[in-house]
């Protein structure tokens, strides 16, 4: 049986985003406890914002690619229930891939700190407002937890199918 794979473009975007998301989660956990005003915290926040905005652009590219290209159908070995679970999980992952960078950027707009995208200053959308900053920081943090839960579900699905020797599902989104 020939495996119906995703396009090379989709595979590259998927794995690039996966690596970046894992790095962002680790970085977010690490930098949150750094002393406010320290050079290290500033450096990590600046990097976190740039990678986050890059992820937002990749999410837009990924969504456009998904709309203009054809995704391979899931094979018949995947039950209808698992297909529905995969669809819901993927849709929620896409939603989180937009909520995360947008909430982070808006949160940053309500601080005294500027947002730069790889050194390029971005417009401020608001004046300093601690209450709004806190609101969007909470949205950013809660949606990060939700994103981690969805990623664990996604990876658990992959592991489940690998253990059942249904490796063609993994190979659909792997190089080769």
| 96 neighbors 146 (Cβ within 8 angstroms) | yes
pLDDT tens per residue across span 19-66: 999 999 999 999 999 999 899 999 999 999 999 999 999 999 999 999
| 65 neighbors 10 (Cβ within 8 angstroms) | yes
Beta-bridged to residue 116, according to DSSP, are: 121
Model confidence, pTM: 0.88
pLDDT tens per residue across span 3-17: 789 999 999 999 999
CATH tag for 8-171 (out of 1.20.950, 1.10.10, 1.10.3470, 2.120.10):
1.20.950
Question: How far apart are alpha carbons 128 and 109 in whole angstroms?
Answer: 7
Residue 52 CB-density burial (10 A; 0-12 exposed, 13-18 middle, 19+ buried): buried
């Amino acid at each position: 049986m020939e495996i119906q794979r995703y396009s090379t473009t989709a595979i590259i975007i998927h794995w690039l985003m996966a690596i970046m998301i894992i790095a962002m989660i680790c970085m977010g956990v690490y930098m949150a406890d750094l002393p406010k005003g320290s050079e290290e915290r500033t450096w990590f926040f600046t990097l976190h914002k740039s990678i986050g905005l890059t992820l937002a652009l990749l999410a837009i590219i990924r969504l456009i690619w998904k709309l203009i290209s054809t995704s391979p159908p899931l094979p018949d070995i995947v039950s209808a229930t698992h297909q529905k679970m995969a669809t819901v999980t993927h849709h929620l992952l896409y939603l989180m891939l937009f909520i995360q960078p947008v909430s982070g950027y808006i949160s940053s707009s309500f601080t005294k700190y500027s947002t730069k995208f790889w050194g390029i200053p971005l417009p401020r959308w608001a004046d300093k407002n601690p209450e709004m900053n806190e609101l969007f920081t909470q949205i950013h943090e809660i949606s990060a937890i939700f994103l981690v839960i969805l990623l664990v579900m996604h990876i658990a699905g992959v592991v489940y199918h690998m253990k059942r020797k249904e490796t063609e599902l993994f190979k659909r989104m792997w190089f080769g």
